[in-house]
Chains A and B, each alone.
Chain A
Amino acid sequence: MGEASRWLDSDSISRFRKGLRILALRALGDADLAEDVAQEVLARAIVAAEDGRLTPDDNVGAYLQGIARHVISDVWRQQKRVAASESVLDLPAVPASALTALVSDEERSRIRDAMARLSVGDREVLRLSFFEDLNSTQIADLLGQPSSRIRKRKSRALQRLREALARESHTSNKPSD
């Protein structure tokens, strides 16, 4: 890596790769293709940084996203899933099940176990939040509970699931590397 791109350190590149992989997986539904897209985008970004076309003062996220959309569009066209003139911007996302490729079997098992340990009420709040897309005020109205209590239950339940996902992640984070 040249002088101009030293600001793109390994931590940054690792973080960007994770984000790009999510973006690509959501668009393509294929973990291997998503990894290829992430690598291609990062390779182009590094070249751009060395050429001085990408600097720390730029909106790096927007820059990477722009490249990623071009690369993903190319994949779609190679697969003849869209015409050359079409954009991927409005294409529907793949089902959430495809995104589980981001999570190892062990991590998924831990999340399920943590879900099972939640109270029925907390699971209900999560269901209404994440599957019925209701906000805390709407859930509070439905359940006849103060919205502050709903927010607390949701926060507590999510925190337990986050901890389950993060636990021992150093031994099981291969899909998210």
Chain B
Amino acid sequence: MRTAPECQDLTARRHVTGYIAGSLTAEETREFETHLITCEWCQEEVRLLAVIRADLESVSSSAHRPGRSRRFVAAGGLVAAAAAIVLLVRAPQSPPGQGRDSNHRAEIEASAVPEPLSPVGPVDTVDEIRWRSTPEAGGYRLTLVDSDGTMLWEVETADTFAVFPEAVQLKRGPSYFWKVEAGTGMERWVGSEFVPFHLAASPDSSR
């Protein structure tokens, strides 16, 4: 375990993130680097936060879609990254010895998973939630949760969209997550992963 004493320079600790992001002023950078050279705690913080940020940036850029604004990618991509990075880590791996049949079965099961279409990332409003249909789906079940995992809304429908209920009030800023499951008969559901989205701050907001 790390034995470096915890840094007591609160200004320096606040500057770690900005240093990695390149958002410090030249003077702030100079001051932080002077500290960083001698502070093992902050060196470890730089290492840790660089990895976290880089992983999210990586997932963000891979999630880039043509036509999105830079702001959309910067914010929405990173939103998606927080969830996607978990998916990367938790993605089930094929056990050794699996043959073509099991791979083929996996492909079929994958095609039965409905694909979330919108909302994804930052959006101005949410009037409805849409997903791509899957073959042989007998119906769909939509689930919406907040960042604490609290369920806000669940509905079943035969359509590939659900009109957003007025009773569910979303705040601007925090992320929400939704997933859609396709009913394949025999009480069996095949679902997407949770997709993050949030209502973008109003144009006159500082953020």
Give the B-binding residues of A (Cβ under 8 A): 15-16, 18-20, 22-23, 26, 59-62, 64-65, 68, 89-90, 92-93, 95-97, 99-100, 102-103, 107-108, 111-113, 115-116, 119-121, 123-124, 126-127, 129-134, 138, 141-144, 158, 161-163, 165-167, 169, 176
Contact = CB atoms under 8 A, between A and B. Distances in A.
B86 A123 contact: yes
12 contacts: A68-B33, A90-B26, A116-B85, A119-B148, A120-B145, A120-B194, A124-B147, A133-B17, A141-B173, A161-B48, A165-B44, A169-B1
A112 B88 CA distance: 9
Contacts of B81: 127, 131
B172 to A, nearest CB: 8
Given A19-B37, A99-B50, A133-B21, A166 B174 contact: no
Contacts, number: 171
Contact of B89 (A62, A90, A115, A134): A115
B54 A166 contact: no
A10 B89 CA distance: 38
Contacts of A68: 33, 37
Interface of B: 1-2, 17-23, 26, 29-30, 33-40, 43-44, 46-58, 75, 78-79, 81-83, 85-86, 88-90, 145, 147-149, 171-175, 177, 194, 207
Contact of A121 (B20, B21, B34, B149): B149
A103 B82 contact: no
A61 B37 contact: yes
Contacts of A130: 17, 49, 52-53
- B contact face: mostly helix, strand, loop, or mixed: helix
Contacts of A131: 53, 56, 78, 81
Contact of A120 (B30, B34, B44, B149): B149
B34 A65 contact: yes
B48 A23 contact: no
Given A120-B148, A176-B47, A93 B22 contact: yes
B86 to A, nearest CB: 5
Given A61-B33, A100-B54, A144-B174, 7 more contacts: A93-B21, A116-B86, A120-B149, A121-B149, A124-B82, A126-B52, A127-B78
A115 B174 CA distance: 19
A138 B21 contact: no
A129 B105 CA distance: 41
Contact of B82 (A20, A113, A123, A133): A123
A115 B52 contact: yes
A13 B51 CA distance: 25
A92 B22 contact: yes
4 nearest interchain CB pairs? A142-B173, A19-B37, A99-B50, A93-B22
A162 B48 contact: yes
Q: Which of B22, B35, B48, B175 has the most CB of A within 10 A?
A: B48
B133 to A, nearest CB: 27
Contact of A23 (B1, B37, B44): B37
A108 B89 CA distance: 11
B53 A65 contact: no
Contacts of A102: 46-47, 50
A41 B18 CA distance: 25
Contact of B174 (A99, A113, A124): A124
Given A124-B82, A133-B21, A16 B38 contact: yes
